[in-house]
A and B are shown apart, each in its own frame.
Chain A
Amino acid sequence: MKMKVLSGAAALGLIAGSASAEGRLSIYHWFEYIPQEILDKFTAETGIEVTMDTYDSNEALLANLKAGKLGSYDVAVPGDYMVAIMKNEGMLDMIADGELANVSNVEDKWMNVAFDPGRKHSIPYQWGSTSFMVNRDVYSGDIRTTDIIFNPPEVLKGRINVLDNPAETLVLASMHLGIPQCTTDRDQLQALDDLVQGAKAYWASFNSESAKDVLVSGDVAAGMIYNGFGQKARLEGANVEYAYPRQGYIVWMDNVVLLKDAPNRANAIMFMDFLLEPENAAAVTNFARYTSGVKGVGPFLDPELKTSPEQNPPADAPAGSFIKVCDEAAQKVYDQIWTRLKQ
């Protein structure tokens, strides 16, 4: 018994000890979005120990931070519209002028962005698009249409995965119907609700994290996916093709933000500077297969990225759209549509 008490006490001591270590950085990040090697490199260069939790949608990030996790992470990586929402909610800390040594590495077109003018709270991480991929062994017809997801051909019915992300799934559905985002028109909203309720019968699963795996393993024959994540599915050997539908598709930029009440604010700034080094930004791009927003990454990039079909829309593809921040009245209806869909 005495031994047991001692070993228990020792274990308790160890737990308490590891929790108070100096030089930490706590990251809240999307799943499978940063290579372990780059985190190890950061630790090797700075001696800062990195811990990371992951989320699978911008909405989950917001919900979890609001539910009391704010104050335990230093940085997070929200998408464009979510940066704006988090800023309005007062969840972001300000980066002072001159605090970031490498801020000049940000590409000019990503410097003055609508969701964070002047980059006061964020730096670019990666940007890309969201639409869907189709297994060409199963279906060889036209895939450049959102019908693939919302009104699929017979062979794809019941073999479709959609992202478990309300914003992306509902915006793509809006594009399918040709209705604007954040609409308050009741007929349009009703049509949107009817569309997804009807299409649900064709969908096998709602999953973001396994979106790539289900395509590679053949569990589904078509699925909504981000372009880089989809490219990884193709590189893993699946005969899948990414579509740039004529009705439109989503473009986004994910950004590293400095969170309010960050426990290790100085380390967070160091990490942001680290990610703005072209070599490191390129390493992230080579891993995640999106596009960096940092100057001078060219020499470090995998040459295949230049010509990949996922990163290079066909000439006649329409421009993609960013997701808009809706006002409370409209957003509540979208939330309601999503809740009803997931029931």
Chain B
Amino acid sequence: MPTVSAAFAPLRNWLMAPSWLIVGFFLVLPVLLMLVYSFLTKEFRGGVIWEPTLAAYDQFLFDRGLFGDAPPRLQWAYIQIFFRSITQAAGATFFCLIIGFPTAYFIATRADNAKVVWLFLVTVPYWVNLLIRTVSMKFLIRDNGPLNEGLTALGLIDAPVQLINTNVAVQLGLFYSYLPFMVLPIYAAVERYNFALSEAASDLYAPKWIILRRILIPVVMPGIVAGCILVFVPSLGAFLAPDLLGGAKTFMIGSLIDEQFKGNAGNWPFGAAAAMILLLLVLIVLTLYARSQSRSKV
């Protein structure tokens, strides 16, 4: 009976006010201010001047040569960084799905007691500090690290395989960071799935893989999509994995923004503009998601 309870309706505004105020004042307002900053002028040696300019977005989109006087050409460098971030995030999402779906399915189909144990095992890493997990991965895959030493000792490789400072390492780091995010929503969806549907199909002589593809996956699709969103969005703006596991050639959006605020660049307007563009990307993904959700409800 989904009737709406209104026992506390008269107090509603008072109950809601703290969250409205805190999020409004300390998040919505700052994001709007960031938008303003992205249109300000960078001072020569760092800092900002309150003069409106499109310089930050211009730097993002156009290359005016070394001396700033060449005719503008499309700037590929930053687009490449964004493109790399998107492909890295998409790759992480894909691999998380490949491993995460069977895991979630396997757990959801265990007996209740076993289910609890499996689920517990998958959740523990999610509670472990992300920084520590990334550092552990860095330790594991170093040139002379345990992974390379182990493989060499087993005779599988002759010389250490270089993983650290490569795109592969970043990919591995992202995959490892967000894998539990993929498992949990799919698990929840499979758990609610009514296996009578599969049995009915089986009675009609449908092969198992067809049942999986045509019946189960479509039914648990909202869980899969939710898992993908939960992996893709944080991967897109990730900072720790590219910073600790990647090198010079694996710059992603997160590092690009960080560099503008904490590194040598000291270019706040450009950092604000890059953050704005990242936010826009994420909002597009979330809007598409919301659309697909509301369509599937109808």
Query: Are the C-beta atoms of A205 and B165 separated by less than 8 Å?
Result: yes
**Among B67, B162, B248, B259, contact of A186 (Cβ-Cβ < 8 Å):** B67
Determine whether the beta carbon of B266 is less than 8 Å from that of A63.
Answer: yes
Contact partner, B67, options A205, A328, A333, A339, Cβ 8 Å: A333
Residue from the list B43, B77, B264 in contact with A343, Cβ < 8 A: B77
- 8 Å CB contact of A164 from B78, B162, B261, B264: B264
Question: Which DSSP category, helix, strand, loop or mixed, fits chain A's interface?
Answer: helix
Closest to A89 in B: B45
- Let me know if B164 and A219 touch, CB within 8 A: yes
Chain B residues in 8 Å Cβ range of A328: 44
In the docked arrangement, what's the CA distance between A341 and B149, Å? 34
Q: Is the interface of B mostly helix, strand, loop or mixed?
A: loop
Compute how far the CA of A240 lies from the CA of B244 in the bound complex, rounded to whole angstroms.
24
B78 to chain A, nearest CB (A): 7
- Tell me which of A62, A63, A64, A67 has the highest count of chain B C-beta atoms within 10 A of its own C-beta: A63
B residues apposed to A, CB below 8 Å: 43-47, 66-68, 77-78, 80-81, 142-144, 162, 164-165, 247-248, 251, 259, 261-266, 268
The reply to whether A338 and B264 contact each other, CB–CB distance below 8 Å, is yes
A6 to B230 alpha-carbon distance, docked (Å): 35
Contacts from A to B (Cβ < 8 Å): 57, 59-60, 62-64, 66-67, 85, 89, 158, 164-166, 186, 189-190, 193, 200, 203-207, 217-219, 328, 331-333, 336-340, 342-343
For B144, the chain A residues whose CB sits under 8 A away are 217-219
Across the interface, do B45 and A337 meet the contact criterion of CB distance under 8 Å? no
Chain A residues with Cβ below 8 Å from B263 are: 57, 60, 63, 164
Whether the pair A63, B247 counts as a contact (CB closer than 8 A) is no
Expressed in whole angstroms, the minimum distance between the Cβ of A211 and any Cβ of chain B is: 13
What is the minimal beta-carbon distance from B25 to any residue of chain A, in angstroms? 19
Q: Report the bound CA distance from A60 to B46 in whole Å.
A: 10
A85 and B247 form a contact (CB under 8 A): no
Are B248 and A200 in contact, with the CB atoms below 8 A? yes
Instruction: Verify A343–B165 contact, CB threshold 8 A.
Output: no
Check if B165 sits within 8 Å of A204, measured CB to CB: yes
